[in-house]
Structure 1
């Protein structure tokens, strides 16, 4: 079953027909009952601050998810939220921060059930660029139904008029919810048409193999025909409006007016007037019912930059939702009950944003972006519990997570990074989001916040007390390991006691020479205990190397090194090597590259070398239309042993200079060779051999360099066996 699921996820199933599940049209039957509704914060990324949290809108008929950042599947698994029950994913922006978890999610759904499953996805029109990029490793059968939020509740997309941003679009208008969107571009646009910043040539047109990408691309070109806008700059504000709540029906009043029980009672409750059965009068709903109440309204606001804020403050299409405006009568204003702010602190802490928030009167504001206090509360508790237990047993092999306490963070010079407290009128209700915090919409009597589902915090002390209580002998085991590490060459003596010779390449080695961190050892799908494949080789002052970069790699770096420490680790990367095109080995790559570009912006640096299969180059080239990745690609086929020999004999084989740059990088990092070894898995799958340079110890003795071999995904493979001869460390990938 596992092979069948993976084969289908790779697109090798017999049914390559694209599955569609479009949204209801206005002329379709509408379900009008909606007894229970709430909106909930899914705190993915709250502790690591590496991705945008997701928001769940729960309705009787629908389950809507807003944004799908990296680690979303691990989060859903941890908190027992069924992925298959999500009907639609809406994206506030198209960037690695909001869509990093989408490729893996689509592939997981494609492997569910007999014929696979799919989910609807909608976002800004530049979503077509992501679709084109994902087509390099996700088959059409797994794509589901992907469309723009500009579709107005029917098959017809707004065309000429869609060039005007400041208007409402309503992709969903059924009896359960009306979902409207407002496009939010930045005020200061730097380029025109399809010209990218710093480019003198127009972006080449995409040759689409999918009508999905063609349709979305046409919408994007139409939208930007008269406006200068770069892909990735457009944000979306979502407005969720529930239908009005009918007032209470009084049967005694209806009877007094001569209406007999039966179908006419139902007509009155549906808002229709009826003729009295016993009196010569027309009975209106207002005669027998309390006045209706406006349905709850929720806004999701993602204002990523200050230039977007300038546009946000002047949007005319939001005027009906302001409570204190002189631009329209009070009776025309729609009362907003809750606003969820996905905007970063650099925006929300400004006076201009605060003034904009006050326009909504006494609405509940939930600040769902990264808050410093959340770094103390692990989102993946199962994993953090295991980490704490292993750290107790052997802190040298299993370091504690790199998060600082809030008190420690505030004592650092980086305290200036923390946003100031919002200073709003007391009428504005502000809550800082917590994981699984709810805001109830229906029943109306329960309208408001509900923190009953917010997980209780568990301290390290509580975890260890539970551990020592359940396994008392672990105390002596921990003490024994500590004695080995802190004794006089204790570990070496232990090895010699078991007649295990210490390799000469490890003589005099210290932790500062090299550290290997297993960021992910899971397979196929993320679990609540382990992340998917990624290995971080830390060479400290000489930089670092990543072997594979599955979804959530950045989050794992932050769990290991802390929020700021992970940024330093990303800046210090010299090379990322990807074994093959399966998503569980590279879906976190774009997020790492985009972050590195941002961190090093304004600092002289060279593009990061990425070594991988040819299909990965196609994905990265297309994705760079959305975000600047600042990388130089080298095909794994150009790093095999035979390719290196050909390069050494003739430099002309290195057309774009990538091999020369890689060789220089290896020399600076103290490595002699990086060799990709073909293995038996999917097409263009590789293992890797890293051979470090010889070194001299303190007494002048020359010591051989160590050798690391990583198998990648493979079946038994003679080439890898041969390449592993003399290896100091052989790492077998977890999947096979």
Structure 2
């Protein structure tokens, strides 16, 4: 990715290096769109940032500095659901003021991008992140005129980026019917200026107000725009090599006149002859060109063929017209060097699409960057390696991550087609290196190799774990009757994220999935990447089944690491269930309703919002509406619960823990984020399972108090006060990359949570036995990670 050295010079026109690089491939789970990075020495342009992008950057040490713009190919959580996490990182003071050295970063996209940015502002404090928003018009070309590239939305000495809007058949017809000829000409005129609204993000947020949701209101959400954007990225022409001997033969003296000729200026020779630059240099070469192509459905293909035909570009490399002034990106023209295809596999397989690809000729390299190209290979290899090791130690608690199935459909290969891989790059400049470079592509990961390595390096750890799981249950307390007689289809607690504030290589942010089998399931908190983690745990089909079976989602508080993944989960669920989607009950803090109302203007979500305060016993703030009480009662019955109670805790305003009791006899409590809270301990009395946050080790009391989190010893003590049968610690500061420090806080009833850990009710007795083996596994833990950042969120 390159390291920054010295001060940035925005006027620098000489580009020593430029490339386009594939990032993420929609991750291994296939639930997000791919990303690509257009890299210059002094600027970066990012195309899409799906959920998990921030964690991907941490895994692969990708720096977010010098990011001049994010260009969305679609406005959906699938394409840009990772921006909240990315902006939190940029706003964090620990990141060194990533944007302080440059102009404001701009978020570009089709209609809806302003609404998306406003949605983020309902829960994030972005005052310290200078972001502008640029929304394209509905169309950037006039279908009544011959195809031509629209005016660039980005134009500088390094690149001109032209957006080409594909609206889809239905949307295009609706837009055409709604406009008369005069309005259409006016719209095309707006398109020619490059943007239909480039606004400062802070000012935009001050003017916008989301729709207000009533308690218990059912919200289906917007139908979702079909608009997609392809981007043509044109670099400036490469000036031909200056020929000093030729200049001298025409009577030009060495010195300043040579310099002027090299800058594109004509000069007068000693004999009075005017000498022009093109006479004393080799022919100029067309500048490199890259297309980011995203054609979401077969219905978009006809417009792609009309708006972006190969005939717009030279089909053969060679010299272009001479440059008579400084090179500029807009003036460049030539063949397309590379097309990065975000289009899904089923669209790429369309005959018309493949003919379009082939029409660019053999000089164009096609990088297939859709999720099928990834082949299900894990992109978060650090986490996958740990999961493989944990699976060897305790397979009943740690399953093997499920891969996204590979598309095995036979397709006729095209010339110059390359399956995309993570971090694969296509070099643009220098010209001598043009082409594919795979030096940064990570080595393939094999689960068997990771497990064999552990068995070889730590055989004692493997033996210890085996003995712990075959030994008698911890004798600290007798097993409750519901545990001793439990079958395996009553309750499973699935930890989808166990880290605090921001994701790390090893831990995602907070989410728990309660699998209730015949009673469906429930999500408790929903940090960014929750959907991806659910897919890794259950596989694509299993995750879809879990989403269809969800009966309630509960959010503890408004900090982004606990709910930023909620819109993506709701969107995917609505997509699976279609128009008949049953609205799911979302219980959350009062500020969450503004977030959901904003996202509902972008995508179908199908939910019913109810303030958590309505599940606090004897609350004076409860709405009293019958529809609210009925909705809560219906959710309880569908989940097989006799009690669903929120407990106010000590964190930010409107922060809660939760207590659930089943008609089958088990009792579950989750603390959310909190300082030690006696009210929670009382409500969780005799809990079968208490999941409690333990953000900091015992020596960091001042930090825990300042940030309103719990120490490990405090979490264990709350479990003791509650008389909980098993206490599972979670929400660890990312300063502990793999395992938290327990120290003297260890207890026979306590265990540590890991991402993708599954605890079945029947497996509770031996769960604490596993802790010593886990500590031995990570005894040589690497250096401490970064400090937990101060949340850039609204309280």
Please say which of residues 631-640 and 85-94 is displaced more in the overlay: 85-94
Equivalent of 2:520 in 533, 543, 552: 543
Residue 9 of structure 1 is matched in structure 2 by none
What is the CA deviation profile of residues 644-673 of structure 1, one whole-angstrom value per residue up to 9, with x for unaligned ones? x999xxxx9234x24313312322322111
* Contact 1:579/1:613 (<8 A) preserved: yes
Q: Measure, in 2, the Cα distance between the counterparts of 1:610 and 1:88.
A: 34
Residue 572 of structure 2 is matched in structure 1 by 595
1:668 aligns with 2:657: no
What is the CA deviation profile of residues 216-245 of structure 1, one whole-angstrom value per residue up to 9, with x for unaligned ones? 99xxxxxxxxxxx97632221111111111
1:423 aligns with 2:412: yes
* Contact 2:581/2:606 (<8 A) preserved: no
What is the CA deviation profile of residues 120-161 of structure 1, one whole-angstrom value per residue up to 9, with x for unaligned ones? 32222421111222221123404532221549xxxxx99999
Residue 307 of structure 1 is matched in structure 2 by 299
Residue 649 of structure 2 is matched in structure 1 by 679
Give 1:49 shift.
0.5
Give 1:182 shift.
1.6
1:494 aligns with 2:480: no
Equivalent of 2:560 in 566, 580, 583: 583
Q: 1:403 to 1:270 in 2, by over 3 A?
A: same
Residue 683 of structure 2 is matched in structure 1 by 723
Give 1:568 shift.
1.4
Residue 625 of structure 1 is matched in structure 2 by 601
Q: Measure, in 2, the Cα distance between the counterparts of 1:535 and 1:285.
A: 67
Q: Measure, in 1, the Cα distance between the counterparts of 2:540 and 2:301.
A: 26
Q: Relative CO higher for 1 or 2, CA cutoff 8 Å, sep ≥ 6?
A: 2
Q: 1:468 to 1:120 in 2, by over 3 A?
A: same
1:123 aligns with 2:109: yes
Residue 175 of structure 1 is matched in structure 2 by 157
Partner SS for 2:553: strand
Residue 186 of structure 2 is matched in structure 1 by none
1:554 aligns with 2:531: yes
1:254 aligns with 2:247: yes
Partner SS for 1:106: helix
Residue 64 of structure 1 is matched in structure 2 by 45
Q: Measure, in 2, the Cα distance between the counterparts of 1:104 and 1:210.
A: 18
Residue 19 of structure 2 is matched in structure 1 by 38
Show the 5 A alignment for 1:438-453.
438-453=425-440
Give 1:565 shift.
1.6
- List gaps (5 residues or longer) in structure 2: 1-7, 100-104, 179-199, 210-221, 322-330, 696-708, 710-795
Partner SS for 2:366: strand
Q: Measure, in 2, the Cα distance between the counterparts of 1:423 and 1:114.
A: 47
Q: 1:372 to 1:67 in 2, by over 3 A?
A: closer
Q: 1:144 to 1:194 in 2, by over 3 A?
A: farther
Partner SS for 2:522: strand
Residue 659 of structure 1 is matched in structure 2 by 629
Residue 120 of structure 2 is matched in structure 1 by 134
Equivalent of 1:479 in 466, 486, 492: 466
* Contact 1:46/1:374 (<8 A) preserved: no
1:733 aligns with 2:693: yes
Residue 131 of structure 2 is matched in structure 1 by 145
Residue 267 of structure 1 is matched in structure 2 by 260
Give 1:564 shift.
2.0
* Contact 1:107/1:142 (<8 A) preserved: no
Ranges of 4+ aligned residues in structure 1 off by more than 6 Å: 157-166, 193-196, 214-217
Residue 4 of structure 2 is matched in structure 1 by none
* Contact 2:574/2:606 (<8 A) preserved: yes
Residue 370 of structure 2 is matched in structure 1 by 369
What is the CA deviation profile of residues 321-377 of structure 1, one whole-angstrom value per residue up to 9, with x for unaligned ones? 3739xxxx9x997311111111112211111211222232221111111116521x2
* Contact 1:101/1:551 (<8 A) preserved: yes
Q: Measure, in 1, the Cα distance between the counterparts of 2:144 and 2:477.
A: 72
Q: How many residues align?
A: 636
Q: Normalization by structure 2: what TM-score?
A: 0.74
Q: 1:261 to 1:158 in 2, by over 3 A?
A: farther
What is the CA deviation profile of residues 259-294 of structure 1, one whole-angstrom value per residue up to 9, with x for unaligned ones? 2222222222222222223x3422222332110100
1:507 aligns with 2:458: no
Please say which of residues 243-252 and 548-557 is displaced more in the overlay: 243-252
Equivalent of 1:638 in 593, 614, 619: 614
Partner SS for 2:153: strand
Residue 99 of structure 1 is matched in structure 2 by 80
Show the 5 A alignment for 1:461-480.
461-480=448-467
Equivalent of 1:53 in 28, 31, 34: 34
* Contact 2:171/2:226 (<8 A) preserved: no
Show the 5 A alignment for 1:170-569.
170-189=152-171, 211-212=203-204, 232-277=225-270, 279-315=271-307, 319-321=311-313, 323=315, 334-362=334-362, 363-371=364-372, 374-375=375-376, 377-403=377-403, 418=407, 420-423=409-412, 428-481=415-468, 484=470, 493-495=472-474, 498-569=475-546
Give 1:162 shift.
13
Give 1:300 shift.
0.5
Give 1:600 shift.
1.0
Q: Measure, in 2, the Cα distance between the counterparts of 1:594 and 1:114.
A: 31
Q: Measure, in 2, the Cα distance between the counterparts of 1:271 and 1:421.
A: 52
